[in-house]
Amino acid sequence: KAGVTQTPRYLIKTRGQQVTLSCSPISGHRSVSWYQQTPGQGLQFLFEYFSETQRNKGNFPGRFSGRQFSNSRSEMNVSTLELGDSALYLCASYLWGTDTQYFGPGTRLTVL
Amino acid sequence: GQQVMQIPQYQHVQEGEDFTTYCNSSTTLSNIQWYKQRPGGHPVFLIQLVKSGEVKKQKRLTFQFGEAKKNSSLHITATQTTDVGTYFCAGGGSARQLTFGSGTQLTVLP
């Protein structure tokens, strides 16, 4: 099976802009979680989707949002970018009812 | 909220030496998972422990889950240069989200 794919792999934006990141889960996986990874804060949970519904949300401001489509692909959006949003954004997919998460390669976002 | 502490933050070892990283949770965990992230890569699932006192082995790696299900450890015997990377524990609690530890960055000196 193909792994989790994320696009784009690298992104450079300026403060105030918005960005949309995409994640395609492993075939058959209907659950997707998003994480932000920074050197200072480590891996922090953003949100989790299953069957197009957000099931859990981490402690991030409303500028961070996401959605999931009927084919299980997911997108996350960050509006009004800040310098501190520079991070590696990781998507993980898994079978609902299991806990093993399979991570994608991530999108490296740099905010200038 | 749930917090997972992981120590040490960094560990340098000579090739052939052993290595251990420890995780402690502020709350009882339903399970604990371990991931490895190579430099420039993404976290890769290693193992999941579910039962109190569980011990699992993968070749030179030994994983333990504490009796109270609040702590865990990963021990690598006779490290090799291929073991280089950051090892994360991740605790599963009452919610489905995983809470990751801060990771232990392992450097193996040849």
- Rounded average pLDDT over B61-86: 97
Q: Kind of pairing, strands B85-92 and B44-49?
A: unpaired
CB contact under 8 A, B41 and A105: yes
How many other C-beta atoms are found inside a 10 Å radius of the C-beta of residue B23?
Answer: 27
Distance, in Å, from the CA atom of A63 to the CA atom of B22, rounded to the nearest integer, reads 34
CA distance A98 to chain B (A): 9
Residue B96 pLDDT: 62
- B47 pLDDT tier (thresholds 50, 70, 90): very high
**CA triplet B74, B80, B83: central angle to 5 degrees?**
50
CB A107 within 8 A of CB A77: no
CB A55 within 8 A of CB A49: yes
CB B75 within 8 A of CB B65: no
- Rounded average pLDDT over A12-25: 98
Nearest CB among A101, A105, A106 relative to B98 is that of: A101
The residue with tokens 């390669």 is A105
